[in-house]
Amino acid sequence: MKIIVLVKQVPDTETKVQVKPGEKAISTDGVTFVINPYDEYAIEEALRIKEAKGGDVTLISAGWDKAAEALRTGLAMGADKAVHLNDPAFLGGDAHSTAVALAKAIKKMEYDLILCGKQAIDYDNHQVGVRVAELLGIPHVAVVTKLELQDGKAVAHREVEGGSEIVETPLPAVITAQKGLNEPRYASLKGIMQAKKKPLEAKKPADVDAAPNEVGQAGAKTTVLTMTMPPERAAGRVVEGEPEDAAKQVVKLLREEAKVI
Amino acid sequence: MSFQLTEEQESLRRTVQKFAEKEIAPIAAEAEEKAEFHREIFEKLADIGLLGIACPEEYGGAGLDYSTYIVVVEEIAKHCLATAVGLGVQNLPQIMIDRFGTKEQKEKYLSPLSSGKKLGAFALTEPGAGSDASSLKTSAVRDGDGYVLNGTKVFITHGGVADIYLVMAKTQPEKGAHGISSFIVEDGTPGFSFGKVEKKMGLRASPTREIIFEDCRIPRESLVGKEGDGFKIAMIALDSGRITIGAAAVGVAQAALNEAVKYAKQREQFGQPIASFQGIQFMLADMATSIRAARNLVREAAYLKDSGQAFSHVAAMAKLYATDTAMKVTTDAVQIFGGYGYMQDYPVERLMRAAKVTQIVEGTNQIQRMVIARNLLK
């Protein structure tokens, strides 16, 4: 079974996000980057399928030079090879143009199954995996917590409001991973040492038959106008006095000042 | 030698950091308070190959150098000194058996140790033989095709939980240091038992125990190296162990600095964060500076060892400076936390207790100074 996993490198969950005035993206100074945690579930699932049924796992990511670190980490976990869409033309895109770049690259590859995280924890768009499925003309099942493969089809359990839905789909298909799908492994010491020797191929737009104006910022359908930090929470106010009077005062403030009741 | 970690070392560091944050940090404080040894942590470390870092690949290890090993030790020590020390204690018998053992000994013991199936320990110290290690009294008397051990060892890390012990005993008491030999003793050997479990100030998640030999018969094949090589083997083991303790001390110090920086930014007094006071800033600056110097010294010692150069005196310097730094930095971190720093609700008092033992184990810092001075004056 040939499995492709879409991987995005994102700021570590513990990053204290900062936006410099006038900038339209977060500041990357001093930020640690990691594999998108939901993509880790996808990688782990791919590795488990490979271990159970044989085959190989290819990672693909579109991103700056540094994104190669995320791919190397995935290789250290046990993936076989990686493709890095690495060109300035791929950068600054939105969910649409990123999905176009990935889908174009995937069209030139063999696959039986595509896995990715249900969302990336940076921009939280929840879109790329589903868009890739649409662009490739294959089915998708999103927010999956359990996946079983049978001859030529997949049975996926997905989270829905208040319960779960079991969906059967023919393969190839795109499955987006939700927390709970599995517990991702740590890269082993041997895996880390072997990762360096595994193929990590960098590709330009021309390599994937993409026109420079359909990927990255040029191909984006959305434009970020401004990015600002949320306003700092104002300090609380203590209403003093006897409980009875204070309660009345609080109700008055909530109604007249905060206008919430 | 580069000041930067290699790509693999950095990748390994990040993996170990994640492992330590997820697997060790959540249980470290409680394990320390209740003096609980968590064997499963060592199984998990083994799963990702961290118990055989320096062991050759043919025996299941990764065959990596000390420069890489110390990166792992430091990361783990940031969350739990007991686990970092345990990693060192697991490593020591492996490098000693690899260097001095017979082919049979390597085949029998290295794979179980590097894979974590068996835990190792190192037994040198005795009630009357601490810094003056060569005065040890445990005897190993030739008897037929084996040896009979008698004596008591104290302060043995992983005593009682380890399976394979590297034990120093006198085969020729009249020859002093040259009469010491090194043996492998397996748990369960008749005549080999465990005594008192020590109650310690820190490092409590790592069991420290007395081990006792009473007419304990071991086969001749248990001898590591030649008769009379034991003291040399022990000293070589300690040279390497000192690099480990240095790296662990850097981890403890770095953890204390991280906590102090975080607290200084949050804690407000006189209407402003205490980090805005120069008195606090200077303390933090001094802490960061000595930690960086200590880390570089530890790395130089590892580099010298890896490149086959004389490193004993630099290992002694690294151990001395890194552990004195850990003591100073953790003490200052408690000071920055003020009253809260003295309370067990915050992590710095545990780090301060942890730092103290690093000044004592693997040769007290007074012994390190003797090693350094001897090298200068020879």
Whether the per-residue pLDDT at A259 is higher than 90: the answer is no
Structure confidence at residue A25 (pLDDT):
85
Q: Is B306 a member of any domain?
A: yes
B208, B231, B254 — which closes off a domain?
B231
pLDDT for residue A5: 98
Are residue B240 and residue B372 in the same domain, yes or no? Answer: yes
**Pairing relation of β-strands A56-62 and A81-85?**
parallel
Looking at residues A9-37, what average pLDDT do you find? 89
Summarised one tens digit per residue, pLDDT across range B178-193 is 999 999 999 999 999 9
Chain A residues close to B14, C-beta within 8 Å: 73
Q: CA B13 to CA A47: how far, in whole Å?
A: 23
Q: Are residues B312 and B355 in the same domain?
A: yes
Instruction: Confirm whether B2 is domain-assigned.
Output: no
pLDDT digits (tens, 9 = 90+) for B309-365: 999 999 999 999 999 999 999 999 999 999 999 999 999 999 999 999 999 999 999
pLDDT for B79 equals: 96
Which CATH number does the domain housing residue B202 bear? 2.40.110.10
For strands B268-269 and B272-273, give the pairing.
antiparallel
Q: Are B138 and B272 members of one domain?
A: no
Domain with B281 in it: what CATH number? 1.20.140.10
Q: Is B362 considered catalytic here?
A: yes
- pLDDT of the residue at A258: 83
Task: Determine the distance from the C-alpha atom of residue A239 to the mean position of all C-alpha atoms in its chain, rounded to a whole number.
Answer: 45
Look-up of token digits 């071991």? B218
The per-residue pLDDT for A212 is 87
Supply the CATH number for residue B71's domain.
Answer: 1.10.540.10
Mean pLDDT of B118-145: 94
Domains defined for chain A, CATH in brackets: 2-219 (3.40.50.620), 232-261 (no CATH)
Asked whether the beta carbons of B207 and B38 are under 8 A apart, the reply is no
pLDDT(A87) > 90 = yes
B284 within a domain of the structure (yes/no): yes
Q: Calculate the average pLDDT of chain A.
A: 94
- Pair (B107, B154) in one structural domain: no
For an interface test with A, give the residue of B5, B14, B24, B50 to mutate (most A CBs within 10 A). B14
Q: Are residues B239 and B373 in the same domain?
A: yes
Give how many domains chain B has, as a whole number.
3
Which residues in chain A have their CB less than 8 angstroms from residue B7's CB? Answer: 72, 196
Instruction: Give the nearest partner residue to B48 out of A72, A186, A195, using CB atoms.
Output: A186
B61 contact residues in A (CB cutoff 8 A): none
Distance from CA of B266 to the nearest CA of A (A): 14
| Residue B1 domain-assigned (yes or no) | no
Whether residue B242 is found in the same domain as residue B329:
yes
Q: What stretches of chain A show up as alpha helix (H) in DSSP? A: 37-53, 67-77, 95-107, 128-136, 189-195, 216-219, 243-256
Q: Pick the range with the lowest mean pLDDT from A47-61, A220-234, B83-97, B152-166.
A: A220-234
The reported pLDDT for the residue numbered B184 is 97
- Quote the domain boundaries for residue B63: 7-114
A44, A186, A198, best to mutate vs chain B, most B CBs in 10 Å: A186
Q: Residue B11 and residue A189: Cβ atoms within 8 Å?
A: no
Mean pLDDT of A67-80: 96
Task: Give the DSSP H/E element, type plus range, for residue A154.
Answer: strand A153-160
Q: Which of B12, B18, B19 sits opposite A192 (nearest CB)?
A: B12
pLDDT tens readout for residues B223-267: 999 999 999 999 999 999 999 999 999 999 999 999 999 999 999
Report the residue of chain A nearest B20, measured CA to CA.
Answer: A186
Instruction: Pick the last residue of a domain from B231, B254, B272.
Output: B231
Is the predicted ipTM greater than 0.90, yes or no?
A: no
My answer on whether B250 and B365 are in the same domain is: yes
Among residues B231, B255, B286, which one ends one of the domains? B231
Split at pLDDT 50, 70, 90, the class of A24 is confident
Per-window interface: A 147-176 vs B, CB < 8 A = none
Of A186, A188, A192, the CB nearest to B8: A192
CA dist B212 and A232 (Å) reads 64
Task: Give the mean model confidence (pLDDT) for residues A76-102.
Answer: 96
Claim to verify: residue B103 and residue B162 sit in the same structural domain: no
> Chain A partners of B62 at a C-beta cutoff of 8 Å?
189-190, 193
Calpha distance A10→B174 (Å, rounded): 66
- Residue A98 contacts B where some CB pair is shorter than 8 Å: no
pLDDT in tens, A27-52: 888 899 999 999 999 999 999 999 99
Residues B125 and B145 in one domain: yes
Q: No. of H helices and E strands in chain B?
A: 12, 10
Residue A235 has pLDDT above 90, yes or no: no
Express as a percent the part of chain A with pLDDT over 90.
79
- Report the candidate in A24, A4, A17 with the shortest Cα–Cα distance to residue A217: A24
User: Per-residue pLDDT tens for A209-225?
Assistant: 999 899 999 999 999 99
